[in-house]
Amino acid sequence: MEKEVFLELENVSKKYGTINAVNNLSLKVFKNDIYGFLGPNGAGKSTSIRMILSLITPDSGKIKLFGKDLSVDRYTTLSRVGALVEKPDFYPYLTARKNLEILGKLSNVKNLDAKIDEVLDLVKLSSRQHSKVKTFSQGMRQRLGIAQSVLHDPDLIILDEPGNGLDPQGQKEMRMLIQKLNVERGITFVISSHILAEVEQLANRMIIINKGKSLVEGEVSELLEGSGILVTVEVSDPEKALLVASKFESAQDTELSENNSLRLRIPRERIPELLAEFERNAVKVYSVIPARSLEDYFISKIGNE
Amino acid sequence: MNKLVRIELYKIFTKPRTYIGFAAVFLIVVSIQLGFYFEGEEILDFVIQNLKDSFLFEGKLINVYTVSYIVLTSLWIHVPILIALVTGDLIAGEANSGTFRLILTRPVSRTKLLFAKFFAGWTYTYLVIILMILLSVGLGSILFGSGDLLILKGTLNIFEAEDALWRFGLAYSYGILSMTVVASLAFMLSAFAENSIGPIIGTFAIIIGITVISTLGFSMLRPIIPYLFTTYLPAWQLFFDYELDYVKISRAVFTDLAYIILFLSVTFYHFRKKDIVS
Amino acid sequence: MMRFIIVLVGILSFFSSRINAQKDAGDLVKDLALKMQLVEKYTADILVKIDVEFVNIEERKAKVFFEKPDKFEIKSTGILLLPKKGVEMDYLKLFSSEFTAIDEKTEIVSGVQARLIKIIPMGSELDIVLAQVWIDEGNLRIVRMKTYTKSSGSYSIDFNYNNNPFDLPAAIRVEFDVKNMSLPSTLTGDLESLSKKLDSKGVTKGIVSIEYSNYIVN
């Protein structure tokens, strides 16, 4: 049985002057997905998300939410969507609770008071609910941003760079919260990011875009499979290690690096074999550091095209 | 709609800048009143000194109406700034603070939101005028007591207290109308801006600029002066003509209404399609 | 010599005949002043109509108080402006000071036979330099008066009577010169008149009519 499509973009384009911010973008997000929306800064992620949320009107193409055309059914569709676009900005002169109250009213939330209590508790902001938002740290605002996005029990939540401004602990908590909401409440997520690792840990499906164009879309595990990650291996004898690695069939782009290191691209699952090969050739390995970045992945993808 | 209006009113009246307007009106009105309370005779003597050579003045020259009239004349330049301070922020303020991303991603019609915003801004506008009335007439009555209104407006017009009262009523009502023009101008500029300083300064600059140019009366501008809204900002004074000039008054009212419709139409047309990139 | 005497007698008789026919102008004015001085004080209600080019005001009611010799007060709830000269009856001062009176002629004024007498004050302390007074000799009251002043042009007053005690007027009509005022519009915020040139026609006439009623005298 085909899974229900919650969000669909069909050949959506948006130009700013002569710049193609988004160029013929198509994608599908299924029910219950945590969908990674990846791309470097300036790739068109934000513009795409703004178009999905009707903040920006596309020049061409079609956006469907829950199977309905956004430009036709804006109210019914948007009332099922929660979102946090870019920075979590609130009315700074109002308290956290007041901000949620206003947003809840706009979304026609029933039993608003109880609901606000619930989401504040969810993001652990209950104790600060009567403080003005201008006194909040970036992390607290981010959490309040999540709170407002779930306030009206949406079926789909779109988060734009949710890890931004959070420390590693905060990022971890954010990921756990998203997973929890996805599992417990069945909420579908679209999460934009320029950090592959973040998406890799969360998403089941993803798209990578660059210069407004889709590079690749699909299951995260399939996409990352076999693509090879860039690793830096610190060894006792780099010259010898280079020789060994060059002969190893799954390793690519092998080169010498600083500090007795070797850089190479290799599928993740082949790393143990390579290490064994080094050992057989009496090359001692002190560390293996994955250096996979989104940019590397792009380069590999663009290289493949 | 009602809900949106309530939310917008709530936002306006929890924002500190709103109270700058009220405080400024309070300060200006009360300081003029105190000035007249302590120095009024001298000020008025100076104004009517050559009349006093020929005429014997009887009755209370300094009274609630005369002072209220002077308050009106001195406030017509200040009130537009105070109005723009809030109405120029209505749209641009949300753009600047990024809160459009929060509210426009919810099931809210932009048209309705604009109506609610404008209505809330307009409420502020007339509350500023109401405060001015309350202080001028209320506090003025306590400080100065009633009396006839004496106005120097080309001629010396003296109105009996009862006569003055409805003239003030009409002048204040007209004041609300002309300030609505200012509010809609600031609102329109606000729709085009990403922060509220532009619309506030812009509104003020447009008003001052056009007023200065039309006062200097550049001959090439003369034909368009009757079509400029700034020409009618001081038109509340028409209600203090001895014989009301209904032609002038209706021209002022219709010009104001036309500008309000124009400014609001541009605002709605632009904002409904505006890409929120802030 | 005889001729001289005849001429002298002729001249004298000519003058005496005049004197016999009419009271001396100065005496007449003095009689009038005496009659006026019988009024120690009075109050009256007045209705004032002001017709001055640059003043717009409705008819006003007020109360006047007078007390000899020159105390004069107006009580009004609203604002009232009256021409300083005339209403304050500064001509009373003229009548009670030293003056020269010259008979001019007899005229019909407002349907009344009146003697026109020119009065020139002797001293220089008064503002009035010359007054023409039309006197109804039979009733001993002033019908009209025209006064020339040092400081504020001329004014004329027409009096109407209606059997009030001491022949106090029932109505007066004051016509006076007004220097055209350049009203300081900057202070009134009147931008409209800022841009238009203030015309300075110089002097215009103003008219103030006052009706008196409810006299309470002395």
pLDDT tens-place string over residues C85-140: 666 666 777 777 788 888 888 888 888 888 899 988 887 777 788 889 998 888 88
Between the CA of residue A171 and those of A128, A164, A195, C16, what are the distances in Å?
A: 20, 8, 12, 131
**Mean pLDDT along residues B119-124:** 95
pLDDT band at A301 (very low <50, low <70, confident <90, very high): low
* CA–CA separation, B34 and C39 (whole Å): 45
| Residue reference for tokens 């009147």 | C190
Chain B nearest-CA distance from A121, in A, is: 20
- Of the two residues B48 and A285, the one the predictor is more confident about is A285
The class of domain A229-304 in CATH terms is alpha beta
Cross-chain residue pair C80–B156, CB shorter than 8 Å: no
pLDDT digits (tens, 9 = 90+) for A25-35: 999 999 999 99
Distance from CA of C86 to the nearest CA of B (A): 11
Provide, as residue numbers in chain B, all residues whose Cβ is less than 8 Å from the Cβ of A78.
105-107
pLDDT value at position A92? 92
Give me the pLDDT at residue C20, please. 46
Chain C neighbours, 3+ Cβ pairs < 8 A: B
Nearest CA to CA, how far is B85 from chain C (Å)? 24
> Cβ(B118)–Cβ(B184) under 8 Å?
yes
Contacts of A288 (CB under 8 A, 6+ apart): A231, A232, A233, A234, A271, A275
- Top residue of B1, B101, B274 to mutate, by most chain A CBs within 10 Å, is B101
Cβ <8 Å between C183 and B152: yes
- In this prediction the ipTM stands at 0.84
Report, as an integer, the average pLDDT of A248-266.
82
Alpha-carbon gap: A296 to the closest alpha carbon of chain B (Å): 29
Q: Please state the domain extents for chain A.
A: 31-40+79-224, 229-304
- For chain C, say whether B74 makes contact (Cβ under 8 Å): yes
Which residue from C151, C178, C185 is facing B152, i.e. has the nearest CB?
C185
- Contact residues on chain B for A91, CB-CB shorter than 8 A: 11, 97, 99
pLDDT of residue B128: 93
Statement: residue B148 has pLDDT above 60:
yes
Mean pLDDT over each residue of chain A, to the nearest integer: 88
Kindly state the average pLDDT of the residues A150-178.
Answer: 89
In angstroms, the CA A78 to CA A169 distance is 32
Strand order from edge to edge, sheet including C55-57: B149-153, B155-159, C55-57
The residues, ordered by sequence, that sit 6+ positions from A5 with a Cβ below 8 Å of its Cβ are: A28, A29, A30, A31, A64, A67
Q: CA distances (Å), A116 to each of A134, A142, A155, A184, in order? A: 19, 16, 18, 19
**In this complex, is the C-beta atom of B220 within 8 Å of any C-beta atom belonging to chain C?**
no
Give alpha helix (H) positions in A203-305.
220-224, 238-247, 271-280, 294-304
Q: Which of A19, A36, A20, A21 is nearest to A188 (CA)?
A: A36
Q: What is the pLDDT of residue C192?
A: 47
Helix/strand/coil for A56: coil
Give residues with Cβ within 8 angstroms of B92, minimum separation 6: B189, B190, B191, B193, B194, B195, B196, B198, B199
| Kind of pairing between the strands at B155-159 and B149-153 | antiparallel
Which positions in chain B touch A55 (Cβ < 8 Å)?
A: 100-101, 104-105, 275-277
The whole-angstrom separation of Cα C80 and Cα B61 is 9
Name the phi and psi angles at A92, rounded to 5: -65, -25
Number of CB pairs, chain A paired with chain B, less than 8 A apart: 74
∠ CA(A270), CA(A275), CA(A277), 5° rounding?
Answer: 95
Query: Which amino acid, one-letter code, is at C182?
Result: S
Q: Inform me whether the pLDDT recorded for B40 exceeds 90.
A: no
Q: Percentage of residues in chain C with pLDDT exceeding 70? A: 75
Least confident of A178-192, A239-253, C19-33: C19-33
Cis before B223? omega within 30:
no
- What mean pLDDT, rounded, does chain B reach? 89
| Those residues with Cβ within 8 angstroms of residue A168's Cβ, 6 or more apart along the chain or in another chain | none
pLDDT confidence bin for B2, thresholds 50/70/90: confident
| pTM for the model | 0.82
Nearest CA in chain B to A73: B107
User: Taking 70 as the threshold, does the pLDDT of residue C193 lie above it?
Assistant: no
Identify the CATH homologous superfamily for domain C24-217: Lipoprotein localisation LolA/LolB/LppX (2.50.20.10)
Q: Which of B59-63, B103-107, B229-233, C68-72 has the least mean pLDDT?
A: C68-72
Give residue-wise pLDDT tens across range A74-116: 889 999 999 999 888 999 999 999 999 999 999 999 999 999 9
Position C202 scores a pLDDT of 64
Give residue limits of the domains in chain C: 24-217
Record: contact B215-C190, CB cut-off 8 A: no
- Give the separation between CA B268 and CA A170, rounded to whole angstroms: 41
C45: enclosing H helix or E strand: strand C41-51
Closest alpha carbon within chain C to B67: C188
Q: Say if the Cβ atoms of B107 and A90 lie within 8 Å.
A: no
Q: What angle do CA C93, C99, C105 make, to 5 degrees?
A: 105
User: Is some CB atom of chain B closer than 8 A to the CB atom of C69?
Assistant: no
**B78 Cβ under 8 Å from any chain C Cβ:** no
Residue of A nearest to B107 (CA): A75
Which of A227-231, A301-305, B84-88 is predicted least confidently?
A301-305
Residue A97's contacts (CB-CB under 8 Å, 6 or more residues apart) are A116, A120, A129, A130
Report angle CA A146, A147, A151 to the nearest 5 degrees: 120
Which CATH number does the domain A31-40+79-224 belong to among 3.40.50.150, 3.30.930.10, 3.40.50.2300, 3.40.50.300? 3.40.50.300
What SS3 state is found at C22?
coil
For residues B57-66, average pLDDT: 84
- Helix, strand or coil, per DSSP, at residue C80: strand
Per-residue pLDDT at A228 exceeds 80: no
Helices (H), B55-160: 64-75, 78-87, 92-97, 100-103, 110-133, 140-144
What pLDDT score was predicted for residue A210?
Answer: 87
What ranges do the domains of chain B cover? 2-273
Instruction: Sort out which chain B residues have CB atoms less than 8 A from C152's CB and list them.
Output: 53-54
B10 vs A108: CB contact, 8 Å cut-off?
A: no
β-strand partners of C130: C148
Q: What is the pLDDT of residues C141-186, one digit of tens each?
A: 889 989 888 877 788 889 888 888 888 888 989 888 776 655 554 4
> Does B215 lie at the interface with C, CB-CB under 8 angstroms?
yes
Which chains pack against B, by 3+ Cβ pairs within 8 A? A, C
pLDDT in tens, C46-74: 898 988 877 888 888 888 888 877 787 88
β pairing state of A213-219 and A229-235: unpaired
At position A233, the amino acid (one-letter code) is V
Is C191 within 8 Å of chain B by CB?
A: yes
Distance, in Å, from the CA atom of A179 to the CA atom of B25, rounded to the nearest integer, reads 54
Per-residue confidence (pLDDT) for residue C198, from 0 to 100: 43
